Homo-oligomer: A and B are copies of this chain.
Amino acid sequence: MDTLTALQKFREHVESYVPVNDMEWQALASHLEVSALKKKKYFAEPGKICNHIGLVVKGAVRYFLVKDGEEITGYFSFENELLSSYKSFLTRQPGENYIQALEDCHIVTLSYNAMQQLYDDDLIGKKMERFSRLIAEHYLICYEDRVSAFITQTPEERYNKLLETGGDVLQRIPQHYIANFLGITPVSLSRIRRRIMKISA
């Protein structure tokens, strides 16, 4: 994907939250970088401060932690979704997550320092504040749903919900990562899938 197309996708993402005119877009775009992230490479790693927020314009990434030698998958981001080790990015402390490319990715990134400059910019400051507020609110709602799911739903209910809301992108995630994301073993997931197929048959 060429740089202009990638930047245009970032603009569309911003404008899905806040309209920006050409002059405002120039001020913002001057801080953006387009980069490639090859499959298996990391966007964020534990113990390092995450200095960028990014938009996936092509590909997909997986968020995971390692505990007692085991990978625990927390989240995925696909095309037109943001990615960041958000807590590390915001608090300026080393993160705990890996963010790894599931496929070859193209990402448009904005650094923490550029973000702060943009907030204080006379021209685009207020719009950037609103953009970031709406993003934080959007992810807050996602997290609220995810916490609710953990405390109220069985793994089977969580899996059904994922099938309902996950759409086509689910095909792109290996089954053992999906099991991991649901907090169950691959064997349990196979059992759930067989039960569902029987019911719908």
Contact = CB atoms under 8 A, between A and B. Distances in A.
Interface residues of A, number: 31
B90 A148 contact: no
A151 B86 contact: no
Given A65-B152, A133-B132, A152-B65, A141 B86 contact: yes
Contact of A151 (B130, B151, B183): B183
Contacts of A137: 90, 132, 136
Contact of A91 (B139, B141, B148, B151): B141
A96 interface: yes
Interface in A78-101: 86-87, 90-91, 96
Name the prevailing secondary structure of the A interface residues: helix
A97 B47 CA distance: 36
Interface in A115-164: 119, 125-126, 129-130, 132-133, 136-137, 139-141, 143-148, 150-152
Instruction: State the copy count for this chain.
Output: 2
Contacts of A67: 152
Contact of A65 (B65, B129, B140, B148): B148
A72 interface: yes
B183 A65 contact: no
Contact of A136 (B119, B125, B140, B147): B140
30 contacts: A65-B151, A67-B152, A72-B151, A72-B152, A74-B148, A86-B140, A87-B145, A90-B137, A91-B141, A96-B148, A119-B130, A125-B126, A126-B126, A126-B129, A129-B129, A129-B130, A132-B137, A133-B133, A136-B136, A136-B137, A136-B140, A140-B143, A143-B143, A143-B144, A143-B146, A143-B147, A147-B147, A147-B150, A150-B151, A150-B183
